[in-house]
Structure 1
Amino acid sequence: MSVRDLFDLSGKVALVTGASRGLGLQMAGALGEMGARLAIVARKADELHAAAARLAGQGVDVLPVAGNLGETATIPALVDTVLAHYGQIDILVNNAGASWGAAAEDYPDAAWHKVMNLNVDALFFLTREVGRRTMLPRRSGKIINIASIAGLGGNPVGIQTIAYNTSKGAVVNFTRALAAEWGPQGINVNALCPGFFPTKMSQGLLDVAAPQVIAATPLRRLGGDEDLQGAVVYLASAASRHVTGQCLAVDGGMSVVIGA
């Protein structure tokens, strides 16, 4: 197989959550460009359909599926919709997530539960549903969890996101544990750990601390629009068929500095 063929996703179906904007839309676009058929999921229908139109305009076969993954009881029906349309799911990108900033001693109970529910519970329930219904029966699949360098260690001083860090640490170890369990069934499970990217979730922090963040990053830059695209294609493709249980930091080197 040629190197080009190793990265070709033609005929594959990719389900990407949180794909109406930001990193999710960027990753979905990369998978579509490499030939994958897409099912994209997001909570806000207007943003979701705008993203689907953008992808379709680029020649991508895309199915928008509106849904709130935080309402975990709706996950089986969401998977029903994708399987009814495409018949299979080959690639699952668990990107949807939430954050909340507050000092640990003052952290609201509702905020803790919201972050954990979406970042950990929904991720598990969706992965379990996709795994047992379409990946395990075919003994094939690629699962890519979007963790964070926040799940590898602490934060720079002044950043108070205890629930987010905890949840992403859980995603890191979930990735390792599931890779060991489902590897014998032919399923690769890996994670991407982004550093600081200018997204809606991080914009408030970067408005205040972007110069400090950049100064603490060896490559002296924030993540850009294309910086996760090659990594997600690699983990979704045959090029990574002998890679599982790994957590790839895409962070400009920040995790080296903070000791993650």
Structure 2
Amino acid sequence: MSSTKPIVLNYLVFDDDDGAPEQYRRNVTIGGHEMNLIFINPVEYFDPDKNAFEDERFLEAIKDAIKGVNINLIISDWNILASNAEYKGLVGWDIVEYVLKAKDKLKSRTFLIYSADIKKASRFILKKITSEITASPNDAIPSLEFVSKILELKIKFCKRDEHRFGEIVTLLRESNTISNIVLNSILSFDKNTIINTGNQDFDGKKISDIVKDSTPDNGGLKFIREFIELSIANYSEINGH
């Protein structure tokens, strides 16, 4: 029965340390939950011969990793690839932008960025804000795209030490909402599962296709609502005393 199965929490991690996955599996645990670590090492997508980062291959790797998965939390190290004369380097903010480019809907999730020297991240953000303001000195209200994005996202920073695992557990617990549990459950169905509800808008379609529907009428959300209502009607005594 579903009630006896552990709640699944999926978290996406970007780190240049190949030993990191074992650390996460050992330290990130929550009783009654199945912790699903999705790990990507960005360094694997850097071509040292060309001194260039393979953007498209990296994006495809992210898309493949999160396809059909409800991500509860995104985590990244700040210092990934150092800059040099011809290469700008890769930092935690770049990872955030790659993730949003891969799937814009993840902007509603929490991002946790850690660094051995968290002041580097602070200086980077302050520099980006200053650059936006000084780029348009004649604008009464400058177009602050970076500031707007920062304010829209839920980003937390912490130090890269053993205490970060406690922060990760806390954030995963906070992500354990009813809506996320429902979405996880629906996405756990086989991708070829065909719907037969009596509603012509959904019948004959695959669950995966309906949930991923991004049309303006929110077909995926309407299906989830109907799925819940039908389940309640099936297992409840309507107007019982």
Q: Same fold (TM over 0.5)?
A: no
Higher Cα Rg, which structure = 2
TM category (shorter chain) comes to: 0.3 to 0.5
- TM-score normalised to structure 2 length: 0.41
